[in-house]
């Protein structure tokens, strides 16, 4: 049987006999037989928007609320996020719904603040190789979800997970969010094959983000399903109460009714691969 090969210098992010990593956040375990659904708006915009989104996520059976308070935007003129005010809004949504929170941290000096609010720290694709940030979240007391860089090989991605693990934080989740290819119809090319590759190489949980992976609302549901069928441990999905009003990523954000339908449609696919929602 042919075997997948990565650098033998990677020790902690590859299978090493310690078994599948299971990360418990609230009532949800990421890794193992549960399919963890993280959903919510791209950006935290205001209290009403986030509370409305949180109620929809909770009502539809989602497990974790997402929302960015620190936003990595392509241009400095775009909405940059609400910062700590956004974290406070996420905290209020958690208090009301009980949903744990995942949110991005972009700089080492912000980790202390963000980890005081977040249940999971997100490292965005653009920061995958920000080694100072990786080392800092490696010392954090919260799990870290490491998104794949948009031009990163799987080996480079695992090398970045190694940075976090090497600092002593064992709770690392990998997130495939699409890579740059010559294709321009979609925002990125979602590398679904990364999921079974990671499963064969590593014991870390892997999550698929079909929202950034495609950039197009109508492609989110089919690629979410493909991710589950490929063996993902979870999904990260952008959903906005009013996508047409979104301050970021409205075109790829599901409408609430689309998210609710997707949650129903995902259940049998999860079941077919031995996972429950």
Among 104, 191, 249, 260, binds Mn ion (CB under 5 A): 249
Asked if 240 and 218 count as a contact pair (C-beta separation under 8 A), the reply is no
Among 41, 68, 234, 241, binds ligand PEP (CB under 6 A): 68
User: Could you count the other beta carbons within 10 Å of the beta carbon of residue 39?
Assistant: 29
220 binds ligand PEP (CB under 6 A): no
240 binds ligand PEP (CB under 6 A): no
- Tokens representing 31 are 């890794």
Nearer to Mn ion, 39 or 42 (CB): 42
Among 23, 36, 42, 54, binds ligand PEP (CB under 6 A): 42
Question: Is 58 exposed, middle or buried (CB count within 10 Å of its CB: 0-12, 13-18, 19+)?
Answer: middle
- Distance between CA 123 and CA 92 in Å, rounded? 22
- Distance between CA 29 and CA 25 in Å, rounded? 6
Nearer to ligand PEP, 59 or 72 (CB): 72
Among 94, 177, 187, 199, binds ligand PEP (CB under 6 A): 177
- Tokens representing 234 are 């979870």
β-partners of residue 276 are 34
- For residues 83-122, which are near ligand PEP according to CB under 6 A? none
Q: Interface residues with Mn ion (CB under 5 A)?
A: 42, 249
Q: Interface residues with ligand PEP (CB under 6 A)?
A: 42, 68, 72, 124-126, 147, 177, 212
């Amino acid at each position: 049987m042919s075997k997948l090969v990565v650098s033998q210098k990677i020790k902690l992010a590859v299978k090493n006999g310690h078994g599948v990593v299971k990360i418990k956040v609230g009532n949800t375990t990421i890794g193992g037989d549960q399919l963890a659904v993280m959903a919510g708006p791209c950006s935290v915009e205001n209290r009403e928007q986030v509370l409305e989104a949180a109620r929809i996520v909770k009502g539809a059976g989602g497990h974790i609320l997402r929302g960015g308070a620190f936003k990595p935007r392509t241009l400095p003129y775009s909405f940059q996020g609400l910062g700590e005010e956004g974290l406070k809004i996420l905290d209020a949504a958690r208090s009301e719904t009980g949903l744990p929170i995942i949110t991005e941290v972009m700089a080492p000096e912000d980790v202390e603040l963000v980890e005081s609010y977040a249940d999971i720290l997100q490292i965005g694709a653009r920061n995958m190789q920000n080694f100072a940030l990786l080392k800092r979240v490696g010392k954090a007391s919260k799990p870290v979800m490491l998104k794949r860089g948009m031009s990163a090989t799987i080996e480079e991605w695992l090398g970045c997970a190694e940075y976090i693990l090497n600092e002593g934080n064992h709770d690392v989740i990998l997130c495939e969010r699409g890579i740059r290819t010559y294709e321009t119809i979609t925002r990125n090319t979602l590398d679904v094959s990364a999921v079974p590759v990671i499963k064969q190489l590593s014991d870390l949980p892997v999550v698929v983000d079909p929202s950034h992976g495609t950039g197009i609302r109508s492609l989110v549901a089919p690629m979410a399903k493909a991710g589950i069928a490929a063996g993902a441990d979870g999904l990260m999905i952008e959903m906005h109460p009013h996508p047409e009003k979104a301050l970021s990523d409205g075109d790829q954000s599901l409408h609430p009714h689309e998210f609710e339908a997707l949650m129903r449609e995902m259940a049998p696919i999860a079941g077919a691969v031995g996972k429950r929602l």
